[in-house]
């Protein structure tokens, strides 16, 4: 088995106001800096073999502080990237709330896709493939993976056998840690992934 500590990046200055997505316009906030310090303190006690990160700056900054405490390098991997929101990237949530397509996206994650973006199903396939690869690369090891709310939700929806449309039932706060155990199962098996805590 492999233990994966899925970490959502720390809070940024546009949190709750702008759909930052794959843009790198948001610096870590003052509260986020404190979250990073707490994460580094907590994870310094874990027997971590590797620290991976989404390519986004907010994730890399979070991962860098954790890796420094563990005396490890950060492995940047596109599989941990935020969902691609396409044309919605950088828009305010106030603007998005006026758009019927945004409402459909938040009601039908199983069928809707952001304009010129990535579907929730494609995101789920991406993150599950990465977790399978991680299990093969780090058997009986612990890995920290710093990502974003939607990739972490996609993994948890799969692990708990919940439909994609129930995404909002899963809270993934900035600076949070979710512990997953990747067990030896076939790549088609839903139960290769076990949630220990969120």
Selecting among 9, 12, 130, 158, the annotated active-site residue is: 9
**Is 9 in the active site?**
yes
**Is 132 in the active site?**
no
3-state secondary structure of 134: helix
**CA 99, CA 94: separation in Å to the nearest integer?**
10
Selecting among 11, 61, 82, 118, the annotated active-site residue is: 82
Torsion sign across C-alpha atoms 171, 162, 148, 91: negative
Q: What is the DSSP string of 144-192?
A: EEEE-HHHHHHHHHHHTT--GGGGGGS---TT-EEEEEE-S--TT-GGG
Q: What are the residue numbers of the active site?
A: 9, 82
């Amino acid at each position: 088995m492999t233990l994966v500590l899925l970490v959502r990046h720390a809070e940024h200055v546009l949190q709750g106001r702008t759909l930052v997505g794959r843009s790198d316009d948001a610096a870590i906030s003052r509260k986020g800096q404190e979250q990073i310090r707490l994460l580094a303190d907590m994870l310094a006690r874990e027997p971590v073999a590797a620290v991976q990160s989404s390519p986004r700056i907010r994730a890399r900054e979070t991962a860098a502080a954790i890796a420094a405490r563990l005396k490890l390098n950060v492995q940047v991997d596109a599989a941990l990237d935020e969902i691609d929101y396409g044309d919605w990237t950088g828009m305010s949530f106030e603007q998005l709330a006026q758009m019927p397509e945004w409402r459909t996206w938040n009601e039908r994650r199983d069928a809707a896709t952001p304009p010129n973006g990535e579907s929730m199903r494609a995101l789920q396939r991406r993150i599950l493939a990465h977790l399978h690869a991680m299990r093969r690369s780090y058997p009986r090891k612990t890995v920290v993976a710093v990502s974003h709310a939607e990739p972490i939700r996609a993994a948890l929806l799969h692990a708990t056998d919940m439909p994609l449309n129930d995404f909002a039932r899963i809270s993934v706060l900035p600076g949070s840690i979710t512990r997953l155990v990747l067990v030896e199962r076939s790549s088609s098996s839903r139960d290769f992934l076990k949630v220990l805590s969120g």
